[in-house]
Amino acid sequence: DAKTTQPPSMDCAEGRAANLPCNHSTISGNEYVYWYRQIHSQGPQYIIHGLKNNETNEMASLIITEDRKSSTLILPHATLRDTAVYYCIVRGRDDKIIFGKGTRLHILP
């Protein structure tokens, strides 16, 4: 079973920041939080990952709460091309990568 919970869908206006939440209340100390996205009928694309510190790259920022029980993926200036299903994953000791149902993000023009 997936170790994460995400809202099934979200809307965001084009040009605004998209903030996608994820709950992972059972995360263990050495497990990383990963975010991927999947555009229709393609393979998932890696976005970002982190352990306990906030992370930023050219695509997004990842904010992890101090207790590590939740995180937020931030797309700073959403465009129509960011319309996709976003998956939050906790990668554990057994090296499995288990996907949940993800959040379907709609970017509104």
Partner 1 sequence: DGGITQSPKYLFRKEGQNVTLSCEQNLNHDAMYWYRQDPGQGLRLIYYSQIVNDFQKGDIAEGYSVSREKKESFPLTVTSAQKNPTAFYLCASSPDGLNTEAFFGQGTRLTVV
What does the alpha-carbon distance between residue 87 and residue 24 come to, in Å, rounded to a whole number? 12
Question: Does position 53 bind partner 1 by CB under 8 A?
Answer: no
Question: Does position 87 bind partner 1 by CB under 8 A?
Answer: yes
Question: Does position 46 bind partner 1 by CB under 8 A?
Answer: yes
Instruction: Supply the minimum distance, in Å, between the C-beta of residue 91 and partner 1.
Output: 5
In our burial notation (b when 16+ CB lie closer than 10 A, e otherwise), range 76-98 reads eebeeebbbbbbbbbbeeeeeee
Question: Does position 25 bind partner 1 by CB under 8 A?
Answer: no
Handedness of CA 97, 99, 102, 107 (dihedral sign): positive
- Tell me, by CB under 8 A, how many residues bind partner 1: 27
Q: Which is nearer to partner 1, 45 or 54 (CB)?
A: 45
Question: Does position 98 bind partner 1 by CB under 8 A?
Answer: yes
